[in-house]
Amino acid sequence: MGEFKDKIKGHADTVVGEIKRNVGKATSNTSLEAEGEAQKLKGTAEKAKGAIKGTINKV
């Protein structure tokens, strides 16, 4: 069950990170752009963690 939680949280972080990155880019706010990129990467890692948990639980 934890894998779904990780995947959902990862997806949310990816989406919010993309929004922050785009807003930062549009407003020339490099700090916000970098923060958004970092959040996107965190989301990608969380989704991968969820996928791994799901695979392990199936074995």
Q: Which two tokens stand for residue 38?
A: 């970092």
Q: Whats the size of the chain, residue-wise? A: 59
**Residue 10 belongs to what H/E stretch?**
helix 2-26
Q: Which two tokens stand for residue 19?
A: 């929004």
33-45 pLDDT tens trace: 999 999 999 999 9
The yes-or-no verdict on residue 55 having pLDDT over 70 is: yes
Q: How confident is the model at residue 58 (pLDDT cuts 50, 70, 90)?
A: confident
Instruction: Report the pLDDT value the prediction gives residue 1, as an integer from 0 to 100.
Output: 61
In Å, the largest CA–CA distance within the chain is 48
Average pLDDT over residues 8-13: 94
Q: How confident is the model at residue 19 (pLDDT cuts 50, 70, 90)?
A: very high
The yes-or-no verdict on residue 59 having pLDDT over 90 is: no
Contact 42, 12 (CB under 8 A): no
